[in-house]
Amino acid sequence: MSAPVGKKAKNSKPQKKVVAAPLLSNAKPARKQHVDQPAEGGHEKLPSGEGERLQKVLAKAGVASRRAAEEMIAQGRVEVDGAIVTEQGLRIDPQHAVVRVDGTRVMVREELVHIALNKPKGWQSTMSDDLGRPCVGDIVAERIAAGQRLFHVGRLDADTEGLLLLTNDGDLAHRLMHPSFQVPKTYLATVNGEVHNKSVGKRLRDGVELDDGPAKVDRFQVLELGEGRSLVKIVLHEGRKHIVRRLLDAVGHPVTRLVRTNIGPVALGDQRPGTLRVIGRDEVGKLYEAVSL
Q: Where are the beta strands (DSSP E) in 94-218?
A: 99-101, 104-106, 114-119, 151-153, 160-167, 185-192, 208-210, 213-215
3-class SS shares of the chain: helix, strand, coil, % to 5: 20, 25, 50
Q: Provide the annotated active-site residues.
A: 157
- Within 10 angstroms of residue 213's Cβ, the number of other Cβ atoms is 8
Backbone angles phi, psi at 181, to 5 degrees: -90, -15
Number of other CB atoms surrounding residue 246 within 10 Å: 17
Which residues, in sequence order, are CB contacts of 278 under 8 Å at separation 6+? 113, 114, 115, 116
Question: Could you tell me which residues come within 8 angstroms of residue 190 by beta carbon, excluding any fewer than 6 positions away?
Answer: 229, 230, 231, 255, 256, 257, 258
Query: How are beta strands 255-263 and 266-267 bridged, if at all?
Result: antiparallel
**Euclidean distance between CA atoms 290 and 265, whole angstroms:** 8
Which residues make Cβ contacts (< 8 Å) with residue 110, sequence separation at least 6? 60, 94
- The DSSP bridge pattern shows strands 255-263 and 160-167 to be parallel
Cα 133 from Cα 113, distance rounded (Å): 26
Give yes or no for a contact between 124 and 134, defined as CB atoms under 8 angstroms apart.
yes
